[in-house]
């Protein structure tokens, strides 16, 4: 199947999720929506059937998030729990880890957060300072993480730390499952201007002792395992942004059809219609790149998927910000009222430009990875 043409099953999934999203709408209860999405099998569509999932891929999960976003009720933890953590455990976890976590993630009864960002590392995963050292059969973790979503509702956090390579002495990334009640694992909510339903936290790991089986995958796999989670994260962030942008444009189009000035709807004026048409085009183009990225990832081509996932995230973030801005502008003063619910999206839309990696770092990636230009850092 071409990445540009969805299968009949995917078309049916898109329609079904759109119906669910429309029923819950912008003022949804995220707990109720999460529970219903789980019962309908949407949370685990990308996870293996053998472990309670739908047997699909990131392409399917991106459809779920995009359609919920287009209905005004995106679930941010879809990016984190099934997409990042579920994928990493499904690909690299032990059979015991898969049995412990994947069915619960698919059923919505267990949630995992993901901890990579640090105060001094930013987008540079090579400068992560959270370290893990062996102590007998155990691991001891020390470090800090910031802007970690949903830790308060997560049963565990998949933490990216670094261990010392016995051969070279260099530090390499490794992934650890840290239970929420592990001694020495503390969280502090960050006071955000962003009014999202999912809270952001700073994490402190102070001599957190973990058993040997807390390590996910091979200690020497390093970046392979890390990017197995980061590429789906970028694809799903694109889905989040595209859905949000579609929601904003749909509200603006509805308003432009009904709002009448000088005996005709304002949508009849090209100054109103053309910018909305451009926003729609940009969102559709971003979706094509997202579909390509998901297709490549689900096909097992991690290298090509990395480039496409970064491009998709960049394109979707830009398209989302422009779509929301134009939607608010279309409504004029009404676009800033709580009644129409668009003004709050201005801040949310900016997230898709900043997280999980900034637009500038994506441009750096494309300039030296895709175009072969020298690095500036």
Active-site residue list: 233
Helix, strand, or coil (residue 159): strand
DSSP characters over 7-48? -HHHHHHHHHHHHHHHHH-TT--HHHHHHHHHHTT-TTTTS-
Q: Which residue has the tokens 């102070």?
A: 206
* Encoded tokens for 353: 């430009």
d(CA 146, CA 122): 9
Buried b (16+ CB within 10 A) or exposed e, 179-212: ebebeebebeeeeeeeeeebebbbbebeebebee
The token pair that represents 49 in the structure block: 């059937």
Helices 8-24 and 58-70: angle between axes, nearest 10 degrees: 30
Q: Identify whether the C-beta of residue 303 lies closer than 8 Å to the C-beta of residue 370.
A: no
β partners of residue 131: 142, 162
SS3 231: helix
Cis status, amide bond into 271, omega within 30 of 0: no
**Can you list the alpha helix ranges (DSSP code H) found in 108-203?**
none
Helix (H, G, I), strand (E, B) or coil at 138: strand
* Ranges of H-type helices in 332-368: 344-354, 359-365
The contacts of residue 346 (CB under 8 Å, 6+ apart) are 324, 325, 328
Radius of gyration for the chain, computed over Cα atoms and rounded to the nearest angstrom: 21
Cα→Cα distances 194→110, 124, 199, Å: 26, 24, 9
């Amino acid at each position: 199947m071409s990445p540009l043409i969805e299968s009949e099953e995917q078309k049916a999934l898109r329609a079904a999720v759109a119906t669910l999203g429309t029923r819950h709408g912008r003022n949804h209860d995220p707990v109720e929506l999460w529970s219903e999405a789980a019962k309908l099998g949407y949370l685990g569509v990308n996870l293996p059937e053998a472990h309670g999932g739908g047997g699909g891929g990131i392409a399917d999960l991106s459809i779920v998030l995009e359609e919920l976003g287009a209905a005004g009720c995106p679930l941010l933890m879809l990016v984190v729990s099934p997409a990042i953590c579920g994928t990493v455990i499904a690909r690299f976890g032990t059979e015991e880890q898969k049995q412990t976590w994947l069915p619960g993630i698919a059923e919505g009864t267990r949630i995992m957060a993901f901890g990579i960002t640090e105060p001094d590392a930013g987008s540079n995963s090579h400068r992560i300072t959270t370290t893990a050292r062996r102590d007998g059969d155990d691991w001891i973790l020390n470090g800090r993480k910031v802007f970690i979503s949903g830790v308060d509702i997560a049963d565990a956090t998949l933490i990216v730390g670094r261990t010392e390579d016995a051969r070279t002495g260099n530090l390499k990334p490794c992934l650890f499952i840290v239970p929420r009640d592990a001694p020495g694992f503390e969280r502090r909510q960050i006071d955000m201007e962003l009014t999202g339903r999912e809270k952001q936290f700073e994490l402190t790991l102070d001599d957190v002792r973990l058993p040997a089986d807390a390590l996910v995958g091979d200690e020497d796999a390093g970046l392979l395992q890390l990017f197995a989670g980061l590429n789906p994260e970028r694809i799903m962030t694109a889905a989040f942004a595209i859905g949000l942008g579609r929601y904003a444009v749909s509200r603006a189009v509805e308003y432009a059809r009904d709002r009448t000035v000088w005996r005709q709807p304002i949508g009849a004026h090209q100054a109103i219609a053309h910018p909305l048409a451009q926003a729609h085009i940009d969102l559709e183009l971003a979706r094509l790149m997202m579909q390509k990225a998901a297709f490549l990832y689900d096909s097992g081509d991690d290298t090509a998927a990395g480039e496409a996932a970064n491009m998709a995230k960049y394109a979707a973030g830009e398209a989302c910000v422009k779509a929301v801005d134009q939607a608010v502008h279309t409504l004029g003063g009404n676009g800033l009222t709580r009644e129409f619910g668009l003004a709050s999206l201005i801040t949310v839309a900016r997230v898709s430009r900043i997280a999980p990696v900034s637009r500038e770092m994506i441009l750096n990636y494309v300039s030296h990875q895709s175009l072969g230009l020298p690095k500036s850092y």
